[in-house]
């Protein structure tokens, strides 16, 4: 009996270690992207701290960082993956908040479950991308213009 418990426990421990290793390897590109984005933004020594980081894969890939400047003001940076493109910076207070974007989605679409909320950039337009499941469990995307809070587009029933 003791021998079987040792074998089962060792097997579970091995599975947990393998799972942790795979997870770490899967997260490495995101960590690397964040470090690269922070280096590009902090070349001007603008940020005191980074509060949020989003990896956005739309028509182009953007790294989006929300942070606090040395003067205490919250700012958002849209950093294009391509280094030859310009970094876009806006004050967080000049756009709608994450919570306001969620409230607009709930009011208009009554989602069964919200899967994710992230900032992105589409056609030089800063947007909130909200992914959600509708009442039939179909995957949907809802985009809201960051600056105005107006609906921009839907991708439905995936």
CB under 8 Å to 91, separation ≥6 — which residues?
73, 74, 75, 76
Q: What tens digit of pLDDT does each residue of 16-48 get?
A: 777 777 777 676 676 777 777 777 777 666 778
Q: Are residues 55 and 106 in the same domain?
A: no
Could you tell me if 107 and 76 lie in one domain? Answer: no
Q: Do 90 and 102 belong to one domain?
A: no
Q: Are residues 66 and 20 in the same domain?
A: yes
Q: Are residues 121 and 64 in the same domain?
A: no
Does 30 lie in the same domain as 78? Answer: yes
Residue 7 makes CB contacts below 8 A (sequence gap 6+) with: none
* Boundaries of domain holding 86: 2-94
114-142 pLDDT, tens digit per residue, is 999 999 999 889 999 999 999 999 999 99
Q: Is 113 found in the same domain as 77? A: no
Euclidean distance between CA atoms 109 and 112, whole angstroms? 9
Where b means 16+ CB within 10 Å and e means fewer, 79-99 reads bbeeeeeebeeeebeebbebe
Structure tokens at 100: 């306001």
């Amino acid at each position: 009996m003791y021998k079987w418990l040792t074998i089962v426990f060792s097997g579970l421990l091995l599975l947990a270690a393998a799972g942790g290793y795979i997870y770490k390897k899967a997260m490495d590109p995101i960590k690397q992207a964040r470090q690269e984005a922070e280096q590009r933004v902090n070349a001007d020594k603008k940020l005191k701290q980074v509060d949020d980081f989003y990896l956005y894969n739309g028509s182009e890939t953007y790294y989006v960082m929300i942070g606090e400047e040395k003067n205490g003001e919250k700012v958002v940076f849209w950093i294009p993956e391509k280094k030859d493109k310009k970094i876009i910076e806006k004050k967080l207070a000049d756009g709608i908040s994450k919570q306001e974007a969620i409230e607009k989605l709930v009011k208009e679409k009554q989602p069964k479950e919200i899967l994710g909320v992230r900032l992105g950039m589409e056609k030089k337009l800063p947007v909130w991308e909200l992914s959600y499941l509708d009442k039939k469990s179909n995957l949907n995307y809802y985009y809201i213009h960051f600056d105005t809070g107006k609906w921009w587009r839907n991708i439905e029933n995936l």
